[in-house]
Amino acid sequence: MDSNKASSTVRERNARTPKRTNGIRRVEVLLKAGEEVISEKGYESATMAEIAARSDTCIGSLYRFFPGKEALANALIDRYRENIDLAFDAIDAEAVSLSVQSLADRLLETLLLLNPKGSASSRLMEARPGWSNKREELRSVALRRIAQTLRIHSPQLEEPLARDMSYVLLHNMKTMKTFAILSDRERASGALRELHRMNRLYLESILTPPQPGEN
């Protein structure tokens, strides 16, 4: 009688966990749906109704957890922020031992790995005047972390230059996302190759120490 609640093994077996610990799971589902719809339609065109439908909830439940469209966007942004921090922590941990090329590639793929399917992160990063500054923050964090990573890898790099570079690199990273969801697969792969090439060239030109006896 009191064992039907202690059968945690049973619950853990079927990997879907239908209703227990619902709050966290539900939020996760809602965020996922929000990410999907925003990726596909953009923030403005994404409707709360569709997000609710996509996550098999009713509109009221969506609003219970996120009291508005903006709140949902903010939650997504917060998550991206955290994930960006985690991703850069990982990069930074091995930055000193990375070749410039590897560093270039790692950076390029960072945003891509955050939400591999969609482009909600880039969509939400486009700060527009009048929007909550959460969006601006997301951008700022990304820029700051990029600059920081550059200086960890190449301590001699001047801080202002690192900051300037971060703008360019962030754009390359966003471009990467765009390419990754291009419909024309052939084109995409070629474009990706060129993007990688440009990104490497750029980083190398600044970060590679002048070889002794090269000129």
Partner DNA sequence: AATGAATGAGATTTCATTCAT
Partner DNA sequence: AATGAATGAAATCTCATTCAT
Provide the sign of the torsion angle of the four alpha carbons 89, 92, 97, 102, taken in this order: positive
Out of 20, 90, 113, 197, the residue judged to bind a copy of itself by CB under 8 A: 197
With CB under 8 A as the contact rule, which of the stretches 21-29, 78-86, 91-99, 201-209 interacts with a copy of itself? 201-209
**Interface residues for DNA in 147-206 (CB under 7 A)?**
none
Out of 157, 180, 195, 207, the residue judged to bind a copy of itself by CB under 8 A: 195
Name the amino acid, one letter, at 146: I
Q: Decide: is 67 part of the binding site for DNA (CB under 7 A).
A: yes
- In the complex, minimum distance from the CB of residue 174 to DNA, in angstroms, rounded to a whole number: 24
CA distance 43 to 7: 43
- In the complex, minimum distance from the CB of residue 168 to a copy of itself, in angstroms, rounded to a whole number: 5
* Structure tokens given for 65: 């957890």
> Count residues contacting a copy of itself (CB under 8 A)?
29
**Interface residues for a copy of itself in 20-79 (CB under 8 A)?**
40-42, 44-45
Using a 10 angstrom Cβ sphere, with 0-12 exposed, 13-18 middle and 19 or more buried, the burial of residue 53 is middle
The binder of 190, among a copy of itself, DNA, none, by C-beta within 5 to 8 A per type, is a copy of itself
Residue 177 CB-half CA count within 13 A? 22
**Interface residues for DNA in 44-63 (CB under 7 A)?**
45-49, 57-61, 63
Closest CA to 204 of 134, 150, 130, 143: 150
CA distance 150 to 103: 9
> Count residues contacting DNA (CB under 7 A)?
23
Binding site for a copy of itself (CB under 8 A): 40-42, 44-45, 128-129, 160-161, 163-165, 167-168, 171, 175, 178-179, 187, 190-191, 193-195, 197-198, 201-202, 205
Binding site for DNA (CB under 7 A): 18-20, 22-23, 26, 45-49, 57-61, 63-65, 67-70
